[in-house]
Every structure is written in C-alpha cells, then in structure tokens.
Structure 1
Amino acid sequence: MASVTIYDVAARAGVSIKTVSRVMNKEPNVRPAMRDRVLQAAGELGYSPNLSARSLAGSRSFVIAVFVDAALTIDHWRSERGADYLSRIQLGATLECREAGYHLLIELIDHEGPQVRQEVAALLAALKPDGVILTPPSSDNAVVLELLDKAGTPHVRVGPERAEGLGPRVHMDDVAAAREMTEHLIGLGHRRIGFIIGEPRYGASQARREGYLAAMAAHDLPVSDGWVRQGDFTFQSGMAEAKALLALPDRPTAIFASNDDMALGCVAAIAEAGLMTPGDVSVAGFDDSPSARFSRPQLTTVRQPVAEMSSVAAKLLITRAKTNEPADRPQDLLLPFELIHRASTAPPPR
C-alpha cells in the first residue's frame, strides 16, 4: 500500500499543499476552519509529516538539542539528582517541542574530556539543530559557546553562572534562594548553621554558598572554621561532611546542604550518630526532588523551576526559528523559586 503524502491530504481537504504544510508546521495566520479541515483530512488518511522531508523543504531541521553534562548523567544516574534533574529538563522541553511539531534530542557532553571541541562541532554538523538548550556547565563553557556562535546556532543558556554572553539566559536566583533558606533557619532560632557546598564545577554551588554567607552576615552570626564543607552533590558526600560537622565541639544545630541528595546524606549521618532530625539537628536541602517528599522526615528544601526553565528555553528557540530572529539577541528571564517548609527543620533543642 502506498504511503499517504501531503498531496493526498491537500486533495482530501480541497486546499493547496502549501496550506497543508503551514498547518502541519503549526504556522500562524491559518484560519481555524481551514486548520480543522486539514487536520481532519490528515486524520482520516492516517497522514503524519516526515521529519526528513520537512527539513529538506526548508531551512529548519525541526530539532532542538539539549546539551547535558556527561559526568552528571553517568556518575549520578542512580541518584535522585541525576535522574530527576534530567527528567525535569526533558519533560519541560519535550512538551513545548511536541506542541510545535519539533523533536528533542538529549546530547551528553564531556566537558572535561580532551575532545570536547571536536565532539560539539561534530554534533552541530550532524544534527544541524534549529537551537540548543545549554544546561550547566555547558551554559558557561567558553568552547561550547564559541562553537555555537561560530556556527550561527541559536542557543539558550539555562542556569548559567555568568550573566554576560550572547543569546537568551533563563535562570533562577540561587543567591536569593539560599539566603531565604538560611533566613528560615535563623528565624527558627538557629545560630550555629553548617553549610555543604555542591560540586565546584557548577556556578550554582558558589551562588548558594554566597547566599548562606550573606544571611549569616546580615544577622551578625559568625561562621566558625569547619562549618562550611565541600561536597559534590552526592548522598555519600553529604553523609561524610555531616559526620565532620557533628564531630565539631561547637557542632551546628542545623545543616543546609546545596542539594537534596546531600541533605538526605546528612539525615542518615545524624541517625547513625544516635541523634534525631529535626529534634537534635535540623536539615534543609535544595531542588525539591522526589526523594525530598518521600523521605522521613520529609525534607525542607528550595524548589527550583527546572522543567519551567527548559520549557521557556525551548519556546524561545522555536519562536526564533519560525521568525528568523537574530540568534545573538540578548534576553534575561528570571523565574521564581519557592521555599518548601516540611518536617526536617524545627527550632533548635534547648
């Protein structure tokens, strides 16, 4: 049986093939009645547009690529952070792409590998994407940004550390979020608050440390030596650094970890030491991953709008592809975070 073509749909609907193409590509300025007629004809015939044919017919590839850190994905895939972060990035962008008739491709980038320049150049040449969503640390990687600019490929930087750079930037205020969480702990009566920094390659790690220190300074609370520990976003590092904090003679009555995985490691270390969360030591995290909601006690944390950021990024790229807007037009979009109060934080013990 011969496959159904765009000509068959046009004949069934009684319109031109150009009209069918405009409807299938979800282009504007098509009358609703005409759009319905074309979609009805396509449905009756079982027609779906071919991605390769659409690409050949115009300058668009109908592909949006997402550059994801290979180290994060491989090393942390079994952790909540790795799996949840990637799934939320994928969900937000996929919904936007599906609505516009685009395909989303996840590409792993080894930022520390010697072949990063060749790897990114080969991906751009093979995929010819209409746009690229850059997640940390790609959003701050000079080599990646240089290659995208050289190729004229539109890109949106999600959660970059630096504000400067070509193209739109979609982010949340990590400094303000960490400061607000620290203020929450101070408001409960805590004066000795430990902090665990995240993976140092990510700009958000230092931004969250900055917010913690700003809140402590605003309340004239000293930060003793040893209260700020270096983690790497994993449960194991959170547990190890919490043990170090609990061993201090002036141990903190609260610990704020830069992500939920490390915060849950803190809860485990507190329990192993024969203490209670939050009765003896309060714990707060960052991300609002599924584990934060299902842990015991449920974790007080910061909800960052990961899916929303990737959705906005995809929408910006699709709009630019349709309108042929300049790829380097700067734009700064700040999305709100939310402080989630749960059972892992309480006033300090008397």
Structure 2
Amino acid sequence: MARSQQVGRGATIVDVAKRAGVSSMTVSRVINGRSGVSAETRAAVEEAIKVLSYTPNVAARNLVNSTELRIGIIYSNASAAFMSEFLTGVFEEASSRGVRLMLLKGEGGRPPPVEAIEDLVASGLSGALLAPPLGEAPDVLRVLRDAGCAMAAVGAYQSPGTICVRIDDRAASYQMTRLLLDLGHRQLGFILGNPDQAASAERMAGFYAAVRETGGVEVQVVQGDFTYGSGLAAAEYLLALPKRPTAIFASNDDMAAAVVSVAHRRHLDVPSELTVAGFDDTTLASTLWPPLTTVHQPVRALAAEALSLLIAEIAAKKGKSRVPREIILDHRIVERQSTGAHLSSPPS
C-alpha cells in the first residue's frame, strides 16, 4: 500500500522523466502533443506516465497553451549591485507589460544546472532573459535553443539566435583609460573581468588601444572575475609592487571598491596617492568613499530594453516582422572624487 502511494499520487514530471530516461522538457512535449519527439521516446514517456499513474498539472498545462507571457529570468551574476539594477529594470518593464516572471538563479556565479533550466522550460516559458554572463554560457544556450525558446541577453556579444543588448565596452574602456592618461598617469594597473565574458576582452582591448597612443606608459594587468574578492587579491598584488601603479582601472565597480579598500588599509590616500576608476556606475560607486569615477553602463535600461525586445520577438513569431538582433545603448564617463592628477611626488 505504501509503495502504491509513492508510485501513484506523489509522482511528478521529474519522476516521469527519470523513469523514461529523458528530460522534463521532453515529457512536457509529449504531454502537450508537440512535435520533435521520436515515436520510441514518446512511447517510453507514455509508458512511464502509465506506470507512475502521473496526472499532469492541469493549471500548468493550461498556462503552457495560453497566451499569457511567462518570461524566465536566468542569472548567476556575482555582483549584488549589478543584479539589483538589472532586476529593477526587469521588474519595472514587466509590470508595465503584465508579464509573469519566473526567476532561476545559479549559485556561486555558476549557471543553474541543466536539469533546472529544462524544468523551467517545461513549465511553459514564452521566452528567457539572460543576465551576464549567461548570455554566453554554452549549456544554457543549448537547452533554450533545443526547446525553441525565444531568448534575449544583456551584455552578450554575437550569440546566435539571441537578442543581445549591451553598450560599446571597448569604446567605454578606451575613454576611461584616456581620462587617466590625460590626468598624467603613466604607471597604470588594469584588473580584468571574468575571462569567459566577451565584455572583459573588449574592455581590455579598449584599455590597450588608449595606452598604445601614449608614449612612456608602463602597464600591470591582473586577472579578476568581477567579484569583490578577486579585486582584493588583484589590488594586494598591484599595490605591493616595488613600482606600484599611480592609477588602477578595474573592469567593474565591485573590484574597484576592493582596490579602494586595500588602499585605505595601506594608508594610501585616494586620489592624491592612488587614482581608482571602475565600470558600471552601480549604487556602490556613489556610496563608496571617496565616490568612484566610473563608466556609466545603464543597467536598468539595458534590462528593460532586452525584455521589451524579447516580448516583441515572441509576438513576431506569429507574423512577419523582424526584431533587431543587437542593440547598443549609450554609455558615459562619470567623474567623481576617486580620480586626480598624477603628482610627481606624494603629498607631505
């Protein structure tokens, strides 16, 4: 009797998928009569449903077939400041569109498990919005593409089948580096972002483009990953050098904030003894002391634009209209008190 209850009434779509040896997404396709499933696989799923006495959730099934927009927000970004801005932009746009949001988070800066993404898709998604770095995560993109799910990504570069909304990272980094050089700095430190993100490479390219225009510049580049912790390690290395940089440009505000923290701990005045610049212009940049000179990346607007285009893409599937595949929004340099002119000798 106990076994009967376990097999029958408690069975879920995940149980059916495991028994049939397929994904939850495939089970969902069979239940909803969709194409793209072989006869053999369909038979295996139907057999598992029968053995487990599985009854599909009628409410969920109706949602799959309804016209309600259900957008999955998939993220794993390690920067709480960035994600706060990103989600605010998403929520504001969604509330004005009457969209239902479903959030899926990866832990430790890693993408969510493939099984979790498959289950999210199987619940009846209209489309998925990806926060960086997931717009360039192969496993995430593969699952969504296999499901035929419309996708939009913030901060991604040339991701096939995905709407990409970003800024010109290379130009932004060039302009910030140019500012530091114009302030007279010739000993520069640069902290790279996550090596798996194209934006990191673009920001490094912009940095070097500016450096190459100016003679007599010495550069120290350290790998980071957009986390505060990686910024601490990078700053400790740079500021312990016999000939330390007079200016450090970090690829995001979290790492720049870490540089300021290490500078304070080493009793270095910012900016008279060390200039620091960041990237993003999150709330962290304006609440730090001293307030951070940074690249303003309109994260809220990027997220809202990506969601708007994703909704248009879903609607376009029913007609002939074409949605732009790449949108580049404007950035700007925000000068605050963390940058200053290079002094030939430190203040007395």
Tell me the TM-score range normalised by the shorter chain.
0.7 to 0.9
* Cα distance change, pair 296–180 in 1 and its aligned pair in 2 (3 A): same
Q: Which residue identity lines up with residue 335 of structure 2 in the other structure?
A: H
* Cα distance change, pair 59–111 in 1 and its aligned pair in 2 (3 A): farther
Q: Is residue 326 of structure 2 the alignment partner of residue 332 of structure 1?
A: yes
Out of 51, 54, 69, the position equivalent to 1:62 is 69
* Cα distance change, pair 60–223 in 1 and its aligned pair in 2 (3 A): farther
Once the 2 structures are TM-superposed, how far is the Cα of residue 112 of structure 1 from its aligned partner? 8.6
Aligned length: 285
Out of 110, 113, 117, the position equivalent to 2:114 is 117
Give the Cα separation in 2 of the matches to 1:239 and 1:191: 22
Q: Is residue 152 of structure 2 the alignment partner of residue 152 of structure 1?
A: no
Q: Which residue identity lines up with residue 238 of structure 2 in the other structure?
A: L
* Cα distance change, pair 297–319 in 1 and its aligned pair in 2 (3 A): same
Give the Cα separation in 2 of the matches to 1:172 and 1:241: 25
Once the two structures are overlaid, the 10-residue window that deviates more, 312-321 or 274-283, is: 312-321
Once the 2 structures are TM-superposed, how far is the Cα of residue 259 of structure 1 from its aligned partner? 1.3
Q: Which secondary structure does the structure 2 equivalent of 1:285 belong to?
A: strand
* Cα distance change, pair 325–90 in 1 and its aligned pair in 2 (3 A): farther
Give the Cα separation in 2 of the matches to 1:343 and 1:111: 32
Give the Cα separation in 2 of the matches to 1:195 and 1:114: 27
Structure 1 vs Structure 2 CA RMSD: 2.7
Out of 55, 69, 94, the position equivalent to 1:97 is 94
Once the 2 structures are TM-superposed, how far is the Cα of residue 223 of structure 1 from its aligned partner? 3.8
Once the 2 structures are TM-superposed, how far is the Cα of residue 198 of structure 1 from its aligned partner? 2.0
Match in the other structure for 1:235: 228
Once the 2 structures are TM-superposed, how far is the Cα of residue 181 of structure 1 from its aligned partner? 0.5
1:28-58 residue CA offsets vs partner (Å, 9 max, x unmatched): xxxxxxxxxxxxxxxxxxxxxxxx6996596
Q: Which secondary structure does the structure 2 equivalent of 1:312 belong to?
A: helix
Taking the TM superposition and a 5 Å limit, the aligned residue runs for 1:166-185 are 166-185=161-180
Q: Is residue 207 of structure 2 the alignment partner of residue 212 of structure 1?
A: yes
Match in the other structure for 2:275: 282
Does the 8 A contact of 2:271 with 2:338 survive in 1? yes
Once the 2 structures are TM-superposed, how far is the Cα of residue 325 of structure 1 from its aligned partner? 4.7
Does the 8 A contact of 1:55 with 1:62 survive in 2? no
Match in the other structure for 2:8: none
Q: Is residue 262 of structure 2 the alignment partner of residue 269 of structure 1?
A: yes
Q: Which residue identity lines up with residue 337 of structure 1 in the other structure?
A: H
Once the 2 structures are TM-superposed, how far is the Cα of residue 140 of structure 1 from its aligned partner? 1.1
Match in the other structure for 1:245: 238
Once the 2 structures are TM-superposed, how far is the Cα of residue 252 of structure 1 from its aligned partner? 1.1
Q: How does the TM-score come out when normalised to structure 2?
A: 0.74
Q: Is residue 197 of structure 2 the alignment partner of residue 190 of structure 1?
A: no
Once the 2 structures are TM-superposed, how far is the Cα of residue 175 of structure 1 from its aligned partner? 1.2
Out of 128, 133, 139, the position equivalent to 1:137 is 133
Once the 2 structures are TM-superposed, how far is the Cα of residue 326 of structure 1 from its aligned partner? 7.2
Q: Percent identity?
A: 36
Q: Which secondary structure does the structure 1 equivalent of 2:304 belong to?
A: helix
Does the 8 A contact of 2:285 with 2:291 survive in 1? yes
Does the 8 A contact of 1:167 with 1:329 survive in 2? no
Give the Cα separation in 1 of the matches to 2:282 and 2:189: 21
Once the 2 structures are TM-superposed, how far is the Cα of residue 207 of structure 1 from its aligned partner? 1.9
Q: Which secondary structure does the structure 2 equivalent of 1:195 belong to?
A: strand
* Cα distance change, pair 307–115 in 1 and its aligned pair in 2 (3 A): closer
1:291-337 residue CA offsets vs partner (Å, 9 max, x unmatched): 21122211101111111111111111222334425799652100111
Does the 8 A contact of 2:170 with 2:203 survive in 1? yes
Give the Cα separation in 2 of the matches to 1:349 and 1:137: 38
Give the Cα separation in 1 of the matches to 2:118 and 2:322: 19
* Cα distance change, pair 292–274 in 1 and its aligned pair in 2 (3 A): same
Does the 8 A contact of 2:89 with 2:304 survive in 1? yes
* Cα distance change, pair 190–114 in 1 and its aligned pair in 2 (3 A): closer
Once the two structures are overlaid, the 10-residue window that deviates more, 316-325 or 136-145, is: 316-325
